[in-house]
Amino acid sequence: MTTLEERARSIRLVCTDIDGVLTTGELHYGAGESHGKSFHVRDGAAIKWLQRFGIPVAFISGLDSPATWARAKQLGIEDCFAGRLDKKPILDELCLKYGLGPEQVAHLGDDLPDLPLLRRVGLACCPRDAMAEVQQACHWIIPLEGGRGVLRPVAELILKTQGHWDRVIATYQD
């Protein structure tokens, strides 16, 4: 049986759903047609660390949202797919782009549209409040609810198993 550490060691791309993973899944509507979302700052830091060590992060969301595009731009996410409920072709496209097999990809998801990816990738993760079917498909159920920094422990695991964590920590030393 493959351990989480062994799975994390081979990851070269991290894909994540947005609503219910990087956000709580709540949509806040005001007077306009657009909605707002809250993203956790710890996930943003983790994404920047992954990028620093050559591990790209892709956003794959069924909901096309200005907030998702804005967060992707702010974090330098090149691969942002919003408004795409059929996520399997996106995984194929990303694997082709980066010359990877699905076993070299991690995906974080929380709902049924994520199942095709979670069943194919090398490291499948979800927040603890994900759908039961999603939890059953995952290698790791993160002990946090969606929107509460779920990507951070996954990034830390990947960076630690690949020998980069000490360099992350060194950035913040005197």
pTM of the model: 0.94
Does some domain include residue 144? yes
Domain that holds residue 112: 6-21+36-168
Mean pLDDT is lowest, of 33-37, 41-45, 85-89, for 33-37
Mean pLDDT is lowest, of 20-29, 106-115, 128-137, for 20-29
pLDDT for the residue 30? 67
pLDDT in tens, 136-158: 999 999 999 999 999 999 999 99
**Model confidence at 28, in pLDDT bands (50, 70, 90)?**
low
| CATH code of the domain in which 53 resides | 3.40.50.1000
**Model confidence at 80, in pLDDT bands (50, 70, 90)?**
very high
Does some domain include residue 117? yes
Higher pLDDT, 109 or 27: 109
d(CA 164, CA 68): 28
On the question of pLDDT at 29 being above 80, the answer is no
**Model confidence at 99, in pLDDT bands (50, 70, 90)?**
very high
Does some domain include residue 83? yes
Does some domain include residue 47? yes
pLDDT for the residue 31? 64
On the question of pLDDT at 35 being above 80, the answer is no
Does some domain include residue 174? no
User: How many structural domains compose the chain?
Assistant: 1
Does some domain include residue 28? no
C-alpha neighbours within 13 Å on the C-beta side of residue 11:
35
CB 107 within 8 A of CB 11: no
Does some domain include residue 29? no
Burial 75-110 (b: 16+ CB within 10 A, else e): bebebbbbeeeebeebbeebbeeeebebebbbbbbb
Does some domain include residue 26? no
Ramachandran angles phi, psi of 84, nearest 5°: -125, 100
